[in-house]
Chain A
Amino acid sequence: MPGMTRRDFLKIAVLAGTAPTLLASCAGSDDKREVNFFNWSTYIAKDTLPKFSLETGIVVNYSVFSDEEDMFAKLRSGAMGYDLTVATDYMIPRMKALNLIDPYPTGALKNIGNIDSKFRDTPYDPQNAYTVPYLWGTTGIGYNKKHVSKRPDSWWDLWDPKYKGKISMLDNARDCVGIALLMKGYPQNTDSDAAFQAVEKLLISQKPLLKQYSSATYVDSLINGEVDLAMAWSGDVIQAAKENPELDYVIPKEGSYMWVDNMCLVKGSRHRADTLRLVDYLIEGKVAADIANFVRYGSPNAAAKPYLDKTLLDDPRVFPPPSVQKRLQFYSILPPDLAQTWINTWSDVKAA
Chain B
Amino acid sequence: MKKRVIRYLGMLKKGIIGISIELVYPLIVTVVAFLISLVIFLSESSFR
> Do A and B make up one complex?
no
* B residues in contact (CB < 8 Å) with A: none
* A residues in contact (CB < 8 Å) with B: none
